[in-house]
Amino acid sequence: MKKSTLSTSEEKVLKGIGVSPGIIIGKAAPLERQRTTFIPRRVTVDQVISEVKRFEAAIEKSKGELEEVKQRIVEKGFRQHSYILDVHLKLMEDRMLRDETIKMIKERLVNTEWALKATLDKIAEAFDAIEDEYLKERKEDIKHVVERILRNLIGGELRAIEDLKENMIVVAHDLSPADTIQLNLQRVIGFVTDIGGKTSHTAIVSRSLEIPAVVGLEDITTYVRGGETIIVDGTEGVVIVDPSLATINSYHIKQQHYRYLERELLKYSPLKAETQDGYHLTLQANIELIEEVPAVIQYGAEGIGLYRTEYLYLNRKTLPDEEEHFQVYRRLAEEIAPYPATIRTLDLGGDKFASHLELAEEMNPAMGLRAIRFCLMEPDIFKAQLRGILRASIYGKVKILLPMISGVEELREVKAILEDVKDELRTRGIAFDPEIPLGVMIEIPSAVITADILAREADFFSIGTNDLIQYSLAIDRVNEHVSYLYEPLHPAIVRNIKRVVDVAHEEGIEVGICGEMAADPLYTLIFLGLELDELSMHPIAIPRVKKVLRQSTRTEGDGILRKVLEFSTARETEQFIREKMAERFPEDFIQCTE
C-alpha cells in the first residue's frame, strides 16, 4: 500500500499515511518499547487461588498506574486526551479478559502469564475478522492493556520515556496511548511509527495536539538510531531520514507556508459556512467518541452529522443496555445543543465482535450479516439502542440514522420496531420526541436506484461515500491491491450522488454526505453544484472546507458541476478539478504538473 523509498545521496524517503497535517524538521528520538517475556509454567490445583490473586493484583497495579498517568496529564492540561486512558481502564475491567484468563488458569492449570497471553490471542483473532478499520485498530488497545498487566506480573520496569530533554520527533514501532501520553508532550514535535492507520491512537492524539504525524511507515525504526535529522510531512505522509541541505531548505519554505495557512484557516472556524451569494451548506462533524465534542465545537461544526455508535458495543461480554445508551446519547445531545446529534444505529456485524454471540464466520463480511441486517435479526439489541436514543431525544435535537439500508422494506421494518418502542415508552410514561427524524444512509447501489422510493418514507438522507464507492465500483475499501481503483470522482459516483440529491429534493428532504469525500476541499465546489444540504467530516477538516465555501459562489459551483458531468473518466475530472482549484485557491492547492 505505502512503502515507497526513493532516496537521493544519503537521504531516505519513506512513504506512509499522513494522519496529522503539518511539516516538522527535527531530531529523531527512537523509543523501543520493552518486550515482555515470560516463562509459561504449569501450576497445581493448590496454586490456582494464588495465581488468580496474582492476576487480580497485577490488574489493580496496572489500573493504579493508568490513574496516575491520567492525573498527570490532567495537571499538564491535556485533559481532553484522558479519554484514551479511560478506555484502557475500562478494558482492564473487561469481563472477557478477566473471566477467560481465570477460567484458563483453573481449567488448564497454567500460570497467569500464559493464560493471559492465550486469552489475548483469542480476542485478537476475533478482531482480525473485523473489517471496519477503526474497530480493527482497537485490538492494539487490548494488546497494550495486556502488555501492561504482563509487565506488572513479571515485575518488569516500565521504561521511563518522559525525559525528552529537547524537542524531538518520536520514532516508534507503535505507541500505546499511555506511552504517548507519558511522553513529555511539550517536547514532542512529531510522531512517526511503523504501524497504525488513520484512526489509531497515535493519529487521534497527534491530530488533537496538532503535531505532524505519519504512521504505517512499516520499517522506519530500522533506519533510525537516534539523533539524526528527520523531516515529517504529515500532510503528504512523507518522512525523510538524513535529508540533504537542499531538501531541508525546501521543506523550511514549505513549513513556513503551511504554518501561515493553518493560522489563516482557523479564522474560518467561527464564521458561517456560506457562499458569497448567501448559500448555506451545513458543515457537521463525524465522531466515534463523545469526548470529541469539544473539538467539534472548536472547529465550528454545526452539529454531529454522524456518530458511529459501534464503539459502545466493543470489548465487552454484555451488551450496552437501554440506560447506558441513554446516558451516552443524552450527554451528546446536551453538549452539542442547540445543534443536532445524528446517532447512527449499530453498524457492524455485532456477532463477530460482541463476545457472547457466536455466529459463523462469513466468507465476505462486507456483504454479510451486518449493520441494519443484524439489528433486524436481533430486535432486542436494536430496541435497547432505539429506547436509549428516544429517551435522549428530549435533551437536545436528536436524529436517528440507519446504516446499510438496501431498500424500503428494511426502512419499513425499522419504522414498525420504532413504533413498538415508542409505545413501550409511552406505557412506561417516559417522554421522548415523537417526531424524531429517521434518516437513511445511502451507501448501497440499490438504495441509490430506489432513492425516490426511500425518499418518500425517510426524513433525511446521508450518503456514505466510503461504502458507496466500495459497492458501486466493487472495490474492497480495505484491500490495498485494488486501492488504485477507489476513485471518488468516478462518473458512476458523481452520478449516484446527483441522483440521490435530486430525488431527495423532489421529495422535500435534506441530503448530506458523511463519507471521507466530504472532508476533501478539492470536492467542495462540486458538492456545491450538486446542491448538497450538509457535509459531515472529521472536525479538523471543517475550517478548510469552510474557507473554500466562503470564497465561492453558488453559480461557480453550478458551472463546475456542469463541466464535471461532461467527463467520461475519474482521471479527467480529477485533473480538471485540481487545475481549477489551484487556479482559484493558489495557496491551498498545488498546481497540477501532469
> Is 88 known to be catalytic?
no
For cell 545521496, name the residue. 9
**For residues 581 and 549, is the Cβ–Cβ distance under 8 A?**
no
Q: Kind and range of the H or E element at 83? A: helix 82-92
* Residue 514 makes contact with ligand PEP by CB under 6 A: yes
**For residues 43 and 109, is the Cβ–Cβ distance under 8 A?**
yes
Cell of 540: 479538523
**Which among ligand PEP, Mg ion, none contacts residue 514 (Cβ within 5 to 8 A by kind)?**
ligand PEP
Picking from 165, 230, 160, 161, the residue whose alpha carbon sits closest to that of residue 192 is 230
**For residues 535 and 261, is the Cβ–Cβ distance under 8 A?**
no
Please, which residue, 464 or 529, has the CB nearer to ligand PEP? Answer: 464
Stretch that binds Mg ion, among 45-53, 158-166, 276-284, 461-469 (CB under 5 A): 461-469
Please, which residue, 396 or 464, has the CB nearer to ligand PEP? Answer: 464
Which is catalytic among the residues 88, 201, 325, 538?
201
Residue 415-444 contact track with Mg ion, rule CB under 5 A, x = bound: ----------------------------x-
Listed in sequence order, the residues at least 6 apart from 217 whose beta carbon sits closer than 8 Å to its beta carbon are 2, 14, 15, 16, 192, 193, 194, 239
* Residue 515 makes contact with ligand PEP by CB under 6 A: yes
* Residue 348 makes contact with ligand PEP by CB under 6 A: no
Task: Work out which of 212, 234, 388, 464 binds Mg ion, going by CB under 5 A.
Answer: 464
Residue 35-74 contact track with ligand PEP, rule CB under 6 A, x = bound: ----------------------------------------
> Is 514 known to be catalytic?
yes
* Residue 465 makes contact with ligand PEP by CB under 6 A: yes
Which is catalytic among the residues 81, 375, 514, 538?
514
Please, which residue, 172 or 517, has the CB nearer to ligand PEP? Answer: 517
**Four-point Cα dihedral 311, 313, 314, 318, nearest 10:** 160
Do you find a cis peptide bond into 338, omega within 30 degrees of 0? yes
| Minimum distance of ligand PEP from residue 311's CB (angstroms) | 11
* Residue 443 makes contact with ligand PEP by CB under 6 A: yes
| Minimum distance of ligand PEP from residue 232's CB (angstroms) | 27
Residue 223 in 3-state DSSP?
helix
Q: In 208-300, at which residue ranges do the beta strands (DSSP E only) sit?
A: 213-215, 229-233, 238-241, 282-287
* Residue 531 makes contact with Mg ion by CB under 5 A: no
* Residue 399 makes contact with ligand PEP by CB under 6 A: no
Task: Work out which of 197, 216, 237, 464 binds ligand PEP, going by CB under 6 A.
Answer: 464
**Which among ligand PEP, Mg ion, none contacts residue 131 (Cβ within 5 to 8 A by kind)?**
none
How buried is 285 (Cβ within 10 angstroms: 0-12 exposed, 13-18 middle, 19+ buried)? buried
Please, which residue, 308 or 399, has the CB nearer to ligand PEP? Answer: 308
**Which among ligand PEP, Mg ion, none contacts residue 515 (Cβ within 5 to 8 A by kind)?**
ligand PEP
Q: Kind and range of the H or E element at 259? A: helix 245-266
d(CA 543, CA 521): 10
Residue 191: count of CB within 10 angstroms of its CB: 28
d(CA 423, CA 183): 52
Task: Report the greatest alpha carbon distance in the chain.
Answer: 80
Please, which residue, 133 or 507, has the CB nearer to ligand PEP? Answer: 133
* Residue 141 makes contact with Mg ion by CB under 5 A: no
Catalytic residues: 201, 514
Can you give the binding site for ligand PEP, defined by CB under 6 A?
A: 306, 308, 347, 443, 464-467, 514-515
